[in-house]
């Protein structure tokens, strides 16, 4: 499979671009994720001409506005330059399927960046470049490298990347009502694990050849909002039991009991999600079902990423 383009803060790849001339190379990103993603590096602070090394900057609250100023020289105000750079990159960002930002950065921080106002800073800010980039690309899955240490957030982020990648492929190959309906059907169980899929189904119920692009725009916006919510264990149990229903006529009493027990053990946090999924895959190899076979739920991304193993 072609590597998926992902934007990333340059320092996370090991580039010596931080204010003090160092880097923040991340082993997981440069190891596991690099096999599947093509990383497109960005360092807005260097791009706007601050240089390496450079005077450090931070976020400062002045009245009701947040400015990005020099730590030692408050006359250095790079707020507009960072915002403008993000706007200049909008067309390039549109080709991305995800973005990994540097946590705590006054330019690239996704959330909880220190904002100075008085003596004590408050973790309530967003990096100036990051904020504009995310505003310009509302569909784009975005995370910082710190949050990727959480198994649930990591799996959610990677899953959203692959959904958006498949969406971009769909749009590139030519959108039709049939293809959009099939896209929804293949992702329906994934959607169910994150929230209520009925609103999306109702949206597609009014789908015609004439309004397909209008419906598609609303569909993908709502879909990416739903998927941003991390799937809970109870939601996964609901989907597992739903899938189990497709086997009710095929399984023996013993196999049904075993599957029920495995799902219950997952509910009770005794085993990871990969265990019931593996058992379900085994049964569907014996008695294939076209709908389940086409669904992305049990194989949302390459199994080598092993993300489900930790859920």
Q: Cα separation of 129 and 194, whole Å? A: 29
Sheet holding 99-101, edge to edge: 37-42, 4-9, 99-101, 142-144
Q: Cα separation of 128 and 66, whole Å? A: 9
Query: Both 159 and 271 in a single domain?
Result: yes
* pLDDT tens, residue by residue, 97-138: 999 999 999 999 999 999 999 778 999 999 999 999 999 999
Domain count, the chain: 2
Query: Both 201 and 105 in a single domain?
Result: no
How many C-beta atoms surround the C-beta of residue 254 within 10 A?
A: 8
Query: Both 156 and 143 in a single domain?
Result: no
Query: What was the pLDDT predicted at 256?
Result: 95
Query: Both 139 and 232 in a single domain?
Result: no
Per-residue pLDDT of the chain (311 residues; tens, 9 = 90+): 689 999 999 999 999 999 999 999 999 999 999 999 999 999 999 999 999 999 999 999 998 899 999 999 999 999 999 999 999 999 999 999 999 999 999 999 999 999 999 778 999 999 999 999 999 999 999 999 999 999 999 999 999 999 999 999 999 999 999 999 999 999 999 999 999 889 999 999 989 999 999 999 999 999 999 999 999 999 999 999 999 999 988 899 999 999 999 999 999 999 999 999 999 999 999 999 999 999 999 999 998 887 888 87
Query: Both 158 and 197 in a single domain?
Result: yes
Structural domain boundaries enclosing 80: 4-149
């Amino acid at each position: 499979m072609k590597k998926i383009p992902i934007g990333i803060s340059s320092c996370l790849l090991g580039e010596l671009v931080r204010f003090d001339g160092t880097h923040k190379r991340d082993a997981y990103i440069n190891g596991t994720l690099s096999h599947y993603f093509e990383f497109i590096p960005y360092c807005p602070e260097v791009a706007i001409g601050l240089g390496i090394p450079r005077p450090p900057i931070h976020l400062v609250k002045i009245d009701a506005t947040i400015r990005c100023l020099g730590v030692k020289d408050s006359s250095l105000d790079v707020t507009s330059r960072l915002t403008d750079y993000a706007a200049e990159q909008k067309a390039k960002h549109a080709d991305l399927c995800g973005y990994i930002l540097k946590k705590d950065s006054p330019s690239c921080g996704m959330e909880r960046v220190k904002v100075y106002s008085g003596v004590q800073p408050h973790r309530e800010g967003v990096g100036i470049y990051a904020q504009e980039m995310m505003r310009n690309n509302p569909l784009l899955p975005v995370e910082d490298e710190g949050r990727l240490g959480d198994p649930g957030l990591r799996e959610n982020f990677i899953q959203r990347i692959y959904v958006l990648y498949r969406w971009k492929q769909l749009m590139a190959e030519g959108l039709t009502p049939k293809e959009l309906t099939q896209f929804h059907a293949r992702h329906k169980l994934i959607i169910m694990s994150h929230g209520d899929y009925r609103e999306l189904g109702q949206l597609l119920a009014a789908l015609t050849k004439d309004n397909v692009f209008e419906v598609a725009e609303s569909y993908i916006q709502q879909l990416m909002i739903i998927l941003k919510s991390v799937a809970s264990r109870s939601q996964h149990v609901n989907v597992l039991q739903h899938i189990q229903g497709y086997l009710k006529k095929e399984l023996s009493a013993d196999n049904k009991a075993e599957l029920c027990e495995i799902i219950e053990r997952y509910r009770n946090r005794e085993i990871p999600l990969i265990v019931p999924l593996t058992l379900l895959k085994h049964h569907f190899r014996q008695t294939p079902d076209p709908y389940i076979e086409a669904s992305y739920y049990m194989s949302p991304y390459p199994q080598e990423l092993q993300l489900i193993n930790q859920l």
